[in-house]
Structure 1
Amino acid sequence: MRPTTAWQAMAQHPVSFLTSSWPWRSLAYLSGGVVVGAAAVLVFGLGLAAGLALLVVLLGVAPLVGLVLAATVVATVERRRLRLVDLDHLPDPHRAPDAPGLRAWVATRLKEQVTWRELTFTLLSAAALWWLDLLVLGFSFAVPAVLIASVDGETWPWAVFGAIVLLASPYTVTSWAGARAAMARTFLAPRNRELGEELREVRASQSRLLDSFDAERVRIERDLHDGAQQRLVSLGMTLGLLRLETPAGSPQAELLTQAESQLATVHKELRALIRGLNPPVLADHGLVAAIEDYAGRFPIPVTVDLKLPERLPRKLETTMYYLLNEAMTNIAKHSGATTAEVRGRYHSDLLIFDITDDGHGGVDPAAGTGVTGLADRVAALDGRMRVSSPAGGPTLLHVEVPCRFA
């Protein structure tokens, strides 16, 4: 297994570790820590002095607030520096402000717990961590250099000691770099509650997208029905009136026959499109009847075995209809199957659907196929989907979606 931290690299490959980039990355991490820590001491010292001096005239609050917010900058730099010795991504737990502008940004940051953890880390870094970085670097390199440079006939044991310390410096530097990085991650990583809030926002966004798509689908269906379809009907009536004035058997009559035939085909296709956008059978009779109706018009035989206790909530029913519709369409387009089956049950507050076909298989969800869109629909409902599709088939899509009947 490839190591993702300097500590793992040193523990897994203690010999080859010496020729890897990890010791140099650890050295860069500690050297950068000295620079960042010294800068933090300077900025915080000047800011604190200015804030306390101006506090007596009620002007010191702004510098003190600025120091708190400056800690977020130090934390951002530290998260980037951690990539030197820890390849696991450390997300920024700060949330976007509720409104635009500097005032909203400041108010949001001051209310977040992570801001105060970052302030604590910055004060710890300024007060102790950068000194320890400097001490480790000095012990690993400066002390051996002094001992080796001052060698003579009586002090050669110290020179040997200095050489041993220098040879061990990759392990010394990496050990402290790993410990420092673990400490930084403890302060700067998002807490479970913060991650939970972020996940809730993502799920709410997905839900809003589904609602938006549903509303847009209804609008398109209404516009097609009330607009394009009515114009086609009007065009058919115009052609009918024109036929009354056209001599039978004339070239114009033949062209009218062709136009009427094409118009009938377009009208039929438009009705099918409108029925697919918002099928009346779904609104009137529910998911089971709608899937059975769609399966009856499917180009290959489909066995429908859906047993649900009652009508689903409207939003869930509509989403599941289009999910099953899309899954069946993928079977017809890509699988080469001769038969398919849609099976659904409700058990322990879960809707469970299995869509199977006897096609050639080989479906790879990671390859960006139509299965990705299905997975996104399921995820938006807090559900999960698994795919089994060995080469040669059969293919199984297993979908589980939470559902509670009121």
Structure 2
Amino acid sequence: MGWTRAGRRGTGVLLGCGTGIAGLLYLAVAGAALGPFLLRPRSRPRARAALTAGARRIAALDRRRRTGCFGDRFPLHYEPGDGEVLRYVSTRAYAGTVTAVTLALVGFGVVLAAVFAAALVGGRVGPAELLWQVLLGGALLFLGVQGLRSLYALDARLARDTFGPSERELLRRRIDELATSRAAVVHAVDAERRRIERDLHDGLQQRLVALAMLLGRARRPGRTPEQAEALLRQAHEESQGVLAELREVAWRVYPSALDGPGLREALGGVAERSPVPLRLTYEVPGPLPQLVETAAYFVVSEAVTNAAKHACATGVEARLALKGGVLTVSVRDDGAGGADPAGAGLSGLRGRVEALDGRLRVDSPSGGPTTVTAELPCA
């Protein structure tokens, strides 16, 4: 198995010398023929397109060589640009030609070593000449092998940079992305838990204490019926406020509308409770995965809250559109701008979105407007 693999790679190196020399000849001939047209601005685009078309054929041969001889697996639908193809072919022309020359020199050195060995056996070589030839031949062999190794690595790096990362590289990147998103999810959950605890402690708990104090004052001996009735009326009003705040906290934790009517109704609730006017455009024809609906809801809710609390906005526009299996959520306000993408709220949103393999972008120049855009895959 090892020899078979070594044989395939050796064949790939020899074929690479051929494609490199072919690329050198092509660039020389095509460059001479198309050079006058490349110098003229009017004919330059067509001449460049003709030059690139031939270079793409040579690059396609090299891509098949890397796949067949070295086992590289490149993304099927990745198409390098014209500049990348020309740069690849020109670099490979140099590298392939140098590799061919280096292999020829190494082969020539092997022939000389065989002739020298025959002379040594025949007794025609003295000790001093033997030492000198061994040192010189060893140094040249070392330089040749190191040069071939460097050219071999250059060939692999050029293919990876031009044709896209290999499956192993994609897997490694995917592992890194999953590790990062997992850490972001843990951080977002912890921040959400602390926010809920803060809401309960600083809001509901204080209001419940005030309600208990009002009821205690109403039950205190010596109160006239009028005073007791006034205190009970205040306690009743306070209880209504506690219930409203409790519903608000529960809605921020998870809106019950997502389990019933769906995302559109939940966002309608955000618009009703928003302190600034919210104009909603909903262009999603069918139902969405539950996790995607939840993430989209929190993107809109957090962006609207930030616009009202920090940006002093007077209006917010939210647009949701589904295209190509990706839900795009865009929230734009007319506030002062200057939102910090690394802030606690936006960092939590980014972690929630990236946990679903999505992307979150924040564009908030000083003076506004601020646009928060989330792209959520629905597959």
What's the TM-score, normalizing by structure 1? 0.42
What's the TM-score, normalizing by structure 2? 0.45
